[in-house]
Amino acid sequence: MNQQKALLEDSKNYLWLPFTQMTDYERDPLIIESGEGIKLKDIDGKEYLDGYSSLWLNVHGHRKKEIDDAIKKQLDAISHSTLLGAANVPAIQLAKKLEQITPKNLKRTFYSDSGAESVEIAIKMAYQYWQNKGFKKKTKFVTLSNGYHGDTVGAISVGAVDLYHRVYGSLMFESIKAPFPLVYRSGKKNPDAIRDHALAELREIFQSRHEEIAGITMESIIQGAGGMNIMPKGYLKGVELLCKEYDILLIIDEVATGFGRTGKMFAVEHEDVQPDLMTIAKGITGGYLPVAATMTTEEIYDAFHGEYEEMKTFFHGHSYTGNQLGCAAALANLEIYEKENLIEQVQKKIAIVKEGLDELKDLEYVGDIRQLGLMCGIELVRDNITNEPFPWKERVGYRSTLKMRELGMLTRPLGDIIVFMPPLASTEEELKQMISIMKQAIEETCKEMAGVGN
């Protein structure tokens, strides 16, 4: 057996891939061996454009010299020592940098290793903040429909994507669901009216239950895994004002939207919102190593200060939290943002993508295209006049992405929504190439499937 064949067999025999039906993987296995720029190469030498930024996190492409060098340099000092009770050099330097680039009320960095953990931490911090302050009844969280915050039990408890979360129903703690101001398929055309309606419903919840609500957990300006849903203008600002009015903590999840993904360093900047807690991960290391953080204000931090026997300590910490290699990679990553003026550079790319996606709008099977910065969703439908969806069992989104893979591009769908989240460093030519691949794959797949399942 040659080496590639052996690896394929071993991957099927020993691995269990996350968020993957293994029957799909066994049918169409893929093993990535290397990457350069925005291209990934599999064990057979076939190259793919990284259309999902290796799950929404790659920034500068793979093997960026400055980040590679920073990690190698850090290796010469130390790879890891615990942050429990002892700081380390790059963790301090990164926390200082994060204070400078996040909204101005956020001062403290609490590290973890994944987006879901950063959300777990935000929830526990918000809960304990009120406990420490003596507001013992403030224990509940409000969440928005279709919200997604990761896969751990706390994170799914404040999530609301039925398909992913239903099965774990009795495992989750209960949160209070508020409607998301969904524009597509709302039956109403006016986003302002949709916004006002959703804010009025939220006000009602806050008004009647604020004494028991610790915080609201939500994504920033755009929901990711819940369907690439963009909030109408002014909605997030409206939530911020309601939180202030009713003394409810605003917990903003910037795991997917942070680090330039939406055209601003953080999506809250679109509406000049200052959350009480903000979660960041993914792009923080440029997509290199697992580092996440929960940022918060001095006021929240102060509520945990005291002598040990006062029991105000935040009892949370993971073994690899604040890992030196990860923090060194993050520092090098953020230096590149400054050196390359990345946020400004990305504006041109956003315009190129907009122009390209506009050409897909009239395709027979495209119901809606939603784009915020370089975070895009293309919703496929059987009929773009009535917006009738394809039967979900036909998996048109999944089939389309398999076709894209054949054509040399990787992404993962959300149901029948094609996710397009290219690395921020993608060139004009690469962006155009990916859009052209998506167009061909969507046309071919949808045509094939249009008659099925009638």
Q: Is 175 annotated as a binding residue?
A: no
372 binds ligand PMP (CB under 6 A): no
Out of 108, 149, 318, 370, the only residue in the binding site for ligand PMP (CB under 6 A) is 149
* Cβ pair 316, 142 in contact under 8 A: no
- The site map against ligand PMP for 186-225 (x = CB under 6 A) is ---------------------------------x----xx
Nearest to 420 by CA among 51, 37, 148, 60: 51
Out of 256, 378, 418, 424, the only residue in the binding site for ligand PMP (CB under 6 A) is 256
Query: Across-strand partners of 380?
Result: 366
Stretch that binds ligand PMP, among 250-258, 341-349, 394-402, 415-423 (CB under 6 A): 250-258
Tokens of 69: 């060098």
Question: What distance in Å separates the CA atoms of residue 375 and residue 369, rounded to the nearest whole number?
Answer: 11
120 binds ligand PMP (CB under 6 A): no
Work out the angle between the directed axes of helices 324-339 and 65-77 (0-180°, nearest 10): 150
Q: Is 377 annotated as a binding residue?
A: no
Contacts 24+ apart (CB under 8 A), 187-196: 191/232, 191/233, 192/232, 192/233, 192/234, 194/232, 195/231, 195/232, 195/233, 195/234, 195/235, 195/238
Out of 70, 116, 243, 332, the only residue in the binding site for ligand PMP (CB under 6 A) is 116
Cβ proximity to ligand PMP: between 8 and 374 the closer is 374
Stretch that binds ligand PMP, among 23-31, 90-98, 109-117, 241-249 (CB under 6 A): 109-117
Tokens of 57: 């996190």
3-class SS letters over 265-314: CCHHHHHCCCCCEEEECHHHHCCCCCCEEEEECHHHHHCCCCCHHHCCCC
434 binds ligand PMP (CB under 6 A): no
356 binds ligand PMP (CB under 6 A): no
- Rounded (5°) CA angle 434-411-419: 85
115 binds ligand PMP (CB under 6 A): yes
Question: What distance in Å separates the CA atoms of residue 277 and residue 296, rounded to the nearest whole number?
Answer: 5
Cβ proximity to ligand PMP: between 220 and 445 the closer is 220
Tokens of 439: 């167009």
Tokens of 128: 């304990």
CB of 225 to ligand PMP, least distance (A): 5
Out of 59, 106, 255, 267, the only residue in the binding site for ligand PMP (CB under 6 A) is 255
Tokens of 443: 């046309």
Quick one: 298 exposed, middle or buried, by C-beta within 10 A (0-12, 13-18, 19+)? exposed
**Which residue is at the shortest CB distance from ligand PMP?**
115
Cβ proximity to ligand PMP: between 115 and 373 the closer is 115
Tokens of 116: 């879901």
419 binds ligand PMP (CB under 6 A): no
160 binds ligand PMP (CB under 6 A): no
Q: Is 186 annotated as a binding residue?
A: no
CB of 293 to ligand PMP, least distance (A): 12
Out of 51, 61, 103, 150, the only residue in the binding site for ligand PMP (CB under 6 A) is 150
Work out the angle between the directed axes of helices 342-358 and 324-339 (0-180°, nearest 10): 80
The type of residue at 246 is Y
Tokens of 261: 């993904």
265 binds ligand PMP (CB under 6 A): no
398 binds ligand PMP (CB under 6 A): no
Number of residues near ligand PMP (by CB under 6 A): 15
Tokens of 83: 């942050």
The binding site for ligand PMP (CB under 6 A) comprises 56, 114-116, 119, 148-150, 219, 224-225, 253, 255-256, 281
> Annotated binding site for pyridoxal 5'-phosphate, which residues?
115-116, 253, 318-319
- Pick out the residues of the known binding site for substrate: 148, 282, 317, 412
